[in-house]
Structures are given as C-alpha cells and as structure tokens.
Structure 1
Amino acid sequence: MGFTLIDGIVIVVYLIVVAVFGIWSAGTQKTTTDYFLGGREMPWWAILFSVVATETSTLTFISIPAVAYGGNLTFLQLTFGYIIGRVIVAFWFLPGYVHGELATAYQYLEKRFGSGMRKAASSTFIITRLLADGVRLFATAIPLAIIFRFAGVFEGWGDMQIYLLAISVIAVITLIYTFLGGIKAVIWMDVVQMFIYIGGALFALFLLFGKLSVPMSEAFSMLGEAGKFTMFNFGFDLSWSEFIADPYVFWVAIIGGAIFSIASHGTDQLIVQRLLATGSLKSSQKALIWSGIVASMQFGLFLFIGLILFVFYEGQTAMEIGLSTTDEVFARFIVDHMPVGIAGLIVASLFAAAMSSLSSSLNALASSTTYDIIKPISGADWDDARELWVSRMVTIGWGVVLTGSAFLFTWLQLSGGDRPAIVELGLGIASYTYGGLLGIFVLGRLFPKPGRKDAMIGFFTGLISLLFVVEGALQQFLPGEGLTIAWPLYTAVGGFIVIAVANLSYVVRSKFLS
C-alpha cells in the first residue's frame, strides 16, 4: 500500500503532541529529586508500564518478530527466568534501596566498600548503557530508515547514510523533551505509548491474518512442519560445550534469564531509578513483579507476529524480500501494507515509545554521572538550582555520546556477514557487564568479611575473565579450543568469579599479608 504524505504528516503531528504532553505532564522541575525521581510520588502502576516500555519497546517491536521469523519460540524460555529474577529482586534488593533513601543503586556500594567501589560500579553501568543503548538507538532507526528507502526519499543514498540520518532525527527530538521534562515526562509518556504501540501491534496482527494467502489451518500446519512452535529445548542431544554455548537451551535460558533479571532490575540504575520513584516498598515490589508478567506476555505477542510474518512472506530470507537485515521484516510490512494514516500512526507510536526508552537511558545516565561521579569528585556543596543545571548539561552530553555509539553499531551491523538479531546483540552486551555488578552487590549483602580491596580485585577480575569465555578475538590466543558460553550465562559466570575471587583475596590477605 506504501507510505504516503498523510502518514508522514501523522508522524510529525503525533511526535509534536507527545513531546508537548511529556513536558506538560512533568510540571516544574525545581530540584534533582524532581528531575531524577519524580518527587518520589509516582503511582506503582505507572512505574509498572514504564519499566516494561523502557526495557522492551524498541527491541521488542523491531527485533523480537525477527527472532521468531528466523527461529522459533524458544526465546520465551528467557522470559520465564526474567519473572523469577524479578521476584528475587523485589524481596531481597528493594528493601535496602527504599528504606535506605538512596538516589542511585551504587550509593549502597559506597556504604559497604567505599567511594572507589561506587565509582567503579557506576562507571561500569555507564559503559554498559553506552553500548547497549547504542544498539537500542540503531534499532529505533530501522523503521524510519525503511520509510526513507521504500518511499523513494533521498534517492541514491546508501543504507548507511539513511540510518545515520534516521538516528540523528530521533536523537535530537528525544533530547529536547528529556532535557526539559525529566523522569516524570519519561514515565507518563511510557504509560501512554505502551498502550498505543501494543494496540498498533494487535492491529497489524489482525491485518496480517486477513492478508494471508492460505487458510489459518494451513498456516499453522506450515509453521508446525517448520518447527516454529518449538518453545522448550532441553538440549539432551548436545555435548557439554554445545549445551552451555546455546542461549536457548531450557536450563541455560531459565537460570541465565533469572540471574540476568536480578542484575538488570537490581543493580542497573535505569530500572532502579524508576522503582525508587514510587517512594514505597510495597508499591515498588508490585510494579516490579507485575512488570515481569506483562513483559513475558508482550514478548509472546511479538514472537507470534514473527511467526505469521513467516507465513506471509513464505519463509523468504531478508535478501529475498529486499531487506538489509531480518530485523527490518516487521517494519517493512507496516510501511507496505498498513492503511493510509494507520501506518503513520503505528510508526509514530513506535518512535515515541522507542524515544521514551532512549530518554530513560539519558535520564539514568545523567543521574548516575551527576550523583556518583561529578558531585563526589567536585566536593562542592551545590544548591538545588546548580545541581539541576549540571544534571541537564550532563543529559545533553550523553545525548551526543549515545548518538555516536548508535553510529558505531550501525556500521557494525551493516558492514556485511552474518549478524545476530539486534535484540540478541543488545542483551549480550548488557549480560557481559551485569555479571560484575551483580557479583559485587551479592558480595556486599552476603559476605561481610571481604573489604574494599578484595571487592575491587574481584570486580575487575570478573569483568576481565569474561573476555576469555565470550566468543571473540581473545579466543584465538587460548591454548586448544576456547570455551564459549551463551550470552544468558555471562552474568552468572561473571558474578560467580567476582564473589569467588573477592573471598579468595580476603583469605590470602588475612593469612599471609596481615
């Protein structure tokens, strides 16, 4: 059906309205508590939807259908682990945060191990967000890039140029309302946009059913024969090395997913910041646990869309459809087959939801940088106005840096060769550094004897060690065949190494160096 001028107008008007609404809903920002924590008075159900939208909006809408299109439903195993992990965080991590009146997750580490550990953990969070959100921003640009390409806009431009333009447009618009509205604007926009983009996805699915060239019974038969309905893979036929290298083996997915969720929702400032905005432990716990259930259902919806797209496109590869990557398949359907006006509304809601995720990252990065690094280093006693000004300047800085990170991942993803689905790339990056963060938090909570030096040794040993068990350049320097593990296990292995090395360091120091 194509993308029309009316759809373009809908997108422009919609983005303006949403940005204005976001800034208006935030009210006046007088202090950094308003700017970063919403005055600690946000309702739990708004936090629930904000958490779900923040962690899944862009990657879910774009890349999860691609996972099912090229594979099956085994990705859902991870979401079951995610729910288990959130329950653990709700009853083990959150009481310390809420009762401790903390503004960032890393202030706890300062109390336990000193300011050096807090700065190290906060810096690791910043690096993780820089890389993972570069992937998110790249994914956000996919539908806009497809619009430019297939609508004949900027004819003669290559894929790289189109993506860079799309990323720049999204980053600039996002930065404007994040700079002005703070966390309240982010949360309320998440609430509105989640319902809109889920409604858009359901409408697209309904439209897909009507456009299939075969009856539904035949479509499901085709999917069954292709093994697309496989949800559980227990890996009984795999060797040990193959077992731990496959991210979609049941036990790897459940255990790895649970530990990943404990780290991402218990130590990552992006999520913890939202949970602290409720001001109540019970409200934070409800928001967190229900977010796991809602997120799992959302993953299921978008995986199912991927299956129906597989039937619609008769199982063709991305190249056969005329796409650069499989990640573009759902966005291509929206552009080509949605009714006039509706296509623009759905793409606009996707942009806005995706930009809410990006704005969340900008706000979290700014809060962690301001509270954990700049303010402690400066040693100055800032008043509210000065602190708010610094926070907004840091927000602008991170907007520029994240845009550069997205440019880098665009180049990597489009440079040729087999590439993972963009959601797997983003989760893999986050899993790598979450191991060190989770390990140091668990060390602080469960092991009272290791001190500051032990914690630092364990933390950096865990991060460095993972380089040798993650498939990459360092594998070639290992004797024999290197041991590679699946990305859901990065967090578990990294955390175990941190705890083990820190305790070993304590034993060695106490027995031989004291």
Structure 2
Amino acid sequence: MVTRAFGDSVRVFATAIPVGLIIGPVVPPAYVGPLSILILGAFTVLYTYHGGMRAVVWTDVVQTGVYLIGGLSALWLLGQGVEGGWSAILRGADAQGKLRLIDTYTGIDRPHTLWAGLIGGAFLSMASHGVDQLIVQRLMASGSLADARRSLIGSGVVVLAQFGLFLLIGTGLFAYYQGETFARPDAIFPRFIVEAMPPGLTGLVIAAILAAAMSTVSGALNSLAAATLHDLYLPLTGRKPDDPGLLRISKTFTLVWAAILIGGAMLYRNEGTPVVTIALSIASFTYGGLLGAFFLAMLVPRALQRDAITGMAVGIGTMSFVVFAKALSGWFPSLAPTLAPFAQIAWPWYVLIGTSLTFFTGLLSSFTHAAPVATPSDQGTRS
C-alpha cells in the first residue's frame, strides 16, 4: 500500500506542473510547487471524503469526457500551429523514425518493443486490472457480472484509443518545438498549453489534465482506505464488517492516505525521467508479488497463507533490488559491474519476473508442509 501511495504521489507531482505554470507569475517561486500540489490535493480529497465510491465513479465519468475533449483540442491546435498541418508533422516524424510502430528487438533492456508490450504488458494488465484494488473496487461496484465484464473489456479499448491520441500529441509537440530538448520532459505539454493555446482552450485542457489526475488520485484514496480497513484494521480489531461505525473509520483512513500522497508529492524531486515511467516502474515491481500470490492461490491447492507471504517477500524483495540497481551503482561504484545486468532490465518485464519469483517460491514453500485438508466450502470457493 505504501508503494501504491508513492506511485500516486508521483502522479500528483506531475499534474501540479501545469498548475504551477499558471500561478507562477503571481506566487513566489519557492511556493509554486507546494501550493500547486496542495490545491490539487485539497479539491480531490474534498469530494472523495464526502462522496465515497459513488463520487469517485461519477466524477470519473465527467472527468474522462473533459480529458478526451482537451486532448482532441490539443490535437487540432497542433495541426494549426505547424506549417503544413498534420500531413507535414507526420512526414517529418516519419523521416526521423518517430512513427516506427513495431520494434522486434528480443532483449529485455528496452521498454518499448513488441515483446515487452505483448508479454510484459499482458502481465502488467493482468495485475493492474485483476488484482489491484484500484480497479477491482470499480468492478465490484458494477450492477452485475456482465456489466463488470463489459467495463473491463471496454477499458482496454478506451485505453488503446487514449494512448493513440496522446502519442499523436507527442508527435505534434516534437514538430511544434522543432525537436527542442527540454530538461523536464513532463513540462513540454504544460508549456504548450500555457503559451500556445487561446485562453478558453487553455482552461479546458488544464481542466482535462487535472481531471485525469484527480480521477486517479480519488480512486487511489478510496482503494487505499478500503484496503487498510478490511485487510489491516478489521483483522487486528476483530470488529464486524457491518459495524456502522466503520464509515467514520474509513473516512479517517482516507484523510491519512491523502496526507501521505500529498506529502510524498511535495517531497518528490524530478530528475529528468518522465514521471509516467517512474510511476509505472514503482507499480510494476509490487504488482508481480500480488499477481504471483493470486496465481498461487488459484493453481496450488496445497499452498497456505504463509507460502504466499514467503513468495511475495522474495518476489518484491528481489524486484526492489532490480528497480534500485541503477541507484545502488551510483552509491557503490565498486558494485557497478555486478549490478549492471539488473539495472538494464526494462520496467515492462518487472511484473513477469516478480510474478514468476513469487509463484515458484510459494510453490516450493508449499512442499515444506502437509497439504491442508479441503472442506466442502473450500472446494466450492476454489471451483
């Protein structure tokens, strides 16, 4: 849960960038970043705290609409802002190799290859849409199993279209700024919004970016509070799930996690790596442990809770070492040659590696004890 919170803190930091560009002229530089994060966090906490899951779902619907309208508006403006329009943008991008769709490279040191997308991306999607409370809570709120299935499949279609839209925007920005190099990649689109868009559209696209972030953060707050309540608070206190007083406790957890997310965003420092890469990397190395434990429970009847915990400890611990191998190389230069192979592993492979380590460690652990005696209720649950 802490790792999920840090990943969402990075997203809050990224979304505060355009807010900072807007208030920058009227606020002292030292206060721009913290004030932007506080503004964004406060409004998100407000409706999540008072509205709960219903507020999260319905605001997601509205925010998604604003988000897509803002993206399409940016697409149109880029076509107007580059001489020759989109035909010139695409010709120039193609000439510089920016439109290459498929990279068949078979190594695991590049993140954007065909195999990283098909294999690594499949495991990442299984984890994010199958075992992550952030998505599962939405599926559980569906009216029926059929509705949940339709929303899950529809999500994949919408995400694909969304990626296509913003990849095109990135291609347009490359042409608009004529290949200029930026110290902070995450500031490119916000700069275009503030400097190149007319006032009305500036507000719309800023709203679109804020909508996307608030949607993610509100869902994260709700899922973190729910997981804390059901996975930690109830087992430790022995209270019943239908206790009416738990609503107040859940809201308290929402405020606690909000403070952690906002605090993490204010402490985060951008060092030039796109925040989307950082956020996905953070999520990916814990997703492997979650997905591996899920497979263990589904496929290995003899596995107990302690086997899953052992597998997750090994999987997440090993992936933590992989994720921070590059940083460790900087801290301990003498270890750099040893750490180099681990530091080169691209983040799309983290979930697959973590899942495999967790599952096989748990499987081996399950053979250190007698198989549990299955009860009729257990058999019905597994079927």
What TM-score does the superposition give when structure 2 sets the normalisation length? 0.90
For the residues of structure 1 that align with 2:301 and 2:244, how far apart are their CA atoms?
A: 39
Deviations 1:166-215 (A, max 9, x none): 00111111111111011111111111121122112111211111111345
- Please tell me whether the aligned partners of residues 185 and 273 of structure 2 are also in contact (alpha carbons under 8 angstroms): no
Match in the other structure for 2:347: 487
Match for residue 260 of structure 2?
401
Question: Does residue 1:504 correspond to 2:339, yes or no?
Answer: no
- Alignment partner of 1:153 is 2:26: yes
- Matches of 2:236 and 2:50, distance apart in 1: 26
Using the TM superposition, name which of 482-491 and 260-269 deviates more: 482-491
Cα distance in 2 for partners of 1:226, 1:133 equals: 34
CA distance in 1, matches of 2:70, 2:139: 27
Q: Give the Cα separation in 2 of the matches to 1:505 and 1:232.
A: 40
Task: State the match for 1:391 in structure 2.
Answer: 250
The answer for the alignment partner of 2:121 in structure 1 is 257
Partner Cα separation in structure 2 for residue 453 and residue 479 of structure 1 = 36
Q: Is the 8 A contact 2:128 2:135 kept in 1?
A: yes
Indicate if the aligned counterparts of 1:467 and 1:474 stay in contact, CA closer than 8 A.
no
Q: CA deviation at 1:351?
A: 1.7
State the match for 1:86 in structure 2.
Answer: none
Question: Does the Cα contact within 8 Å between 2:292 and 2:356 map onto a contact in 1?
Answer: yes
1:190 aligns with 2:60: yes
CA distance in 1, matches of 2:87, 2:130: 44
1: CA distance, partners of 2:215 / 2:304: 39
In the alignment, structure 1 residue 378 sits paired with structure 2 residue 378: no
Cα distance in 1 for partners of 2:86, 2:20 equals 32
Would the aligned equivalents of 2:326 and 2:339 in 1 still touch at CA under 8 Å?
no
How far residue 478 of structure 1 moved from its aligned partner, in angstroms, is: 7.6
Give the structure 2 partner of residue 424 of structure 1: 277
Q: Secondary structure at the match of 1:469?
A: helix
Number of matched pairs: 364
Match of 1:79 in 2: none
Q: Gapped runs of 5+ residues in structure 1?
A: 1-125, 237-242, 320-324
**Residues 202 and 375 of structure 1: is their aligned pair in 2 closer, same or farther, counting only changes over 3 Å?**
same
Deviates more, 1:454-463 or 1:486-495: 454-463
Q: Percent identity?
A: 41
TM-score (ref. length: structure 1): 0.68
2: CA distance between counterparts of 1:373 and 1:346? Answer: 40
> Is the alpha carbon distance of 1:479 and 1:354 closer, same or farther for their aligned partners in structure 2, counting shifts above 3 Å?
closer
How has the CA–CA distance of structure 1 residues 503 and 494 changed in structure 2, closer, same or farther, with 3 Å as cutoff? same
Instruction: Kindly indicate whether the alpha-carbon contact (under 8 Å) linking 1:228 and 1:307 is maintained by their aligned counterparts in 2.
Output: yes
Q: Partners of 1:201 and 1:256 in 2: how far apart? A: 27
Secondary structure of 1:502's match?
A: helix
Within 5 Å, give how 1:114-153 maps onto structure 2: 126-149=1-24, 152-153=25-26
The AA in structure 2 aligned to 1:472 is: K
Q: Which ranges of structure 2 fall in alignment gaps of 5 or more residues?
A: 372-383
Question: How large is the Cα RMSD of the aligned pairs?
Answer: 2.0
Q: Which has the higher contact order (CA 8 A, sep 6+)?
A: 1
Residues 386 and 316 (structure 1), Cα distance of their counterparts in 2 relative to 1, 3 Å cut: same
Partner secondary structure for residue 341 of structure 2: coil
Deviation at 1:279, TM superposition (A): 3.6
Distance 1:382 1:224 in 2: 57
Instruction: Say yes or no: does 1:248 pair with 2:112.
Output: yes
Please identify, of 266-275 and 379-388, the stretch whose mean Cα deviation from structure 2 is larger.
Answer: 379-388
Which residue of 295, 310, 313 maps to 2:174? 310
Note if contact 1:263-1:438 (Cα within 8 Å) is conserved in structure 2: yes
Q: Which of the residues 425, 439, 442 maps onto 2:295?
A: 442
Amino acid in the other structure paired with 2:148: S
Distance (whole Å) between structure 2 residues aligned to residue 141 and residue 297 of structure 1: 25
Matched, 1:227 2:97: yes
> Conserved in 2, the CA contact under 8 Å of 1:141 and 1:166?
yes
Deviates more, 1:221-230 or 1:372-381: 372-381
Tell me, what secondary structure is at the counterpart of 1:228? coil
Aligned AA for 2:280?
A: L
**Contact 1:178–1:363 (Cα < 8 Å) also in 2:** yes
Shift of 1:329: 1.1
Residues 19-418 of structure 1 aligned to structure 2 (within 5 Å): 126-149=1-24, 152-155=25-28, 157-158=29-30, 161-235=31-105, 243-319=107-183, 325-381=184-240, 384-409=243-268, 411=269, 413=270, 416=271
